[in-house]
Chain A
């Protein structure tokens, strides 16, 4: 009897957890509207922020920070460095901005962009720690994929040849010695490099050692090149992201534990702080656009997008932020909170993390209304069906903590009439 009663609650709990995942999901499918995404850009010729709002890749709205709206053509004219091909077709190149003249070649060479999403941090996506070490040949332009991958163990760097799945001792010793000569302390705390051959050239890896010193290691003409960088040990490195670009201005970005983002300059690994306000690396998606005149950095979460424009030396010229358009009406949102006391999110947005999380998200005070209603409905149901309320009091406790989910579960998996 007792066993059966407890058993019933285990099925109810299983059902509630499944409903907590899928019912909110179905709710948004049925009543929600897909959100607008806002892109902020800095118009070099007009020196103001302009935006593009996109809904599901088909609907667009263009405007600027003063509230003026544009059509697509007008919008693209504001951004000559981005849409230079249009200008080229119309024969409007080269363009002149602030006394500088820019033709196709200068624009192309002066462009760079990169994106930094929370999921790119090592703790936000699973990564098997084996890396290809490209070998740059001074006389060959094309990067060739190496035949082995390396790992860094507690005591050395090991190269494993893929075709035989065995360690290449010679190569391992060579690179280990190169690191040791520079005073590298094993094991490595962080290994950062771009692991694709789809890049213009290779800068190898930035490796943080056991004492938080940053080493730059690469392979040139089958020999190691190892540099101990002057990046301070106490800066508290959270992540380094390398992205080779022909402009050779910076190797990539360095993020500290305190959330400060730096560029790692080609000028002796000098760290250039990016002037970001309200940047939260754990929730925000960051984009940096470089053109021959300005740098624009935008970063956004689902509610708001921030932008800062700087000059070539990263001095702030202008800042702006804009709230993403509100799409779901108040009724839809309130009804959601009333119906669903909580929801279980199996995994975060793919931009945020690639790990499964099964987070329990509470949906606010309106859920209390849902609980109260659920309890009343259940009591009425028990009365009508003549179930023994005293014997099944725990049903009410379940509903008290789970609201509608508990109500549905308790009514479908109802007590036996004689219990």
Chain B
């Protein structure tokens, strides 16, 4: 259960135990002091006072005897009065002694004193009467020595005995008081030693318990301090990196701001250029329309050329057909001429002239055949050229058609360009406006980043202070651990 007590409870319990011990010691001391004081008071109030009263009794008895002698010598009233006063004082002292607490011996001795004093008074009274009755001093002196002086001596001896007895009582009382004081001192010393032992035990137990508890807590604090120090180091490092990053971000934001302004200016220029482009596109649209009309005229001319070329091709084919007939005739003529030549050779000299004619006919036929071949080649070239021209023209027609379509598409595209340029103009203006807003936002971001950078620097400083505090806390925990667990320092 002691483990569940708090540090304050344990200290309070220890202090409460010490207070109880102190109270016990104080009570013992008070009791001892009271006992010693009581003994001393008794010694002072009883034995010393009895001794003093014994002294006063001796003085009063001697005063009474002295006054009696004076009266017996002088027979004056002063001594008589003094005698009477001394007698009363002796009685008073006896009364006061009787009032004191007396032991049996003292009471017996005091009874003896009172009895002797009464006997002495009985012996004195006749002497006073005798002196008053004309007796002389000598006679009275003799009577005094015979009757009163022995009593006086006896009284003086008894008073002395009483005083000795009181003195012994005083000494006995003093010794008893000293013994009581010594016992009280011993008891107090024992109590103090006991209290010291208990206090040492409590201190050891408390020190051990608190040392264990505080040591464990201090070790936790030390471990936590180390972790805090590590965390502070990491925080400081992270904060420095963050600060560096913030600086880079600030630079980047500044560049971004400059870029945004450039973009805004570029967007403004783009808007102006887009307006010019829109004007040019509208002009281009008109030009394309005119070009489309011209292309339509070209297409019609090309179609006409194609028709003429096709007609030329047909005519060439007709020429080729006629030429085939001519060629056939030439070949047949050639064959007939050669056969005639052969026949002429077979006819001998009679056919020689015919052979010459036939050979000429063959040559003519050969020339006709060669010419027809050339014409056929030319016709073929014409047909090829016509075909090529037709194909080219058809390709041109297709190209014109394609061009027409493309011009139409170009016209559409120009319209789209005009529309797109308008859109571009609007977009460029929106970009300009947005970029200006962006620049404003970037400036605000820049300010925010500057604030964040300032906060980061403050955080860095705070991290440094935290690190310093963690280091101090680690040192303090080590010192504290060294204080509560010295062996832990080894």
Q: Do A and B come from one complex?
A: no
A residues with a Cβ closer than 8 A to B are none
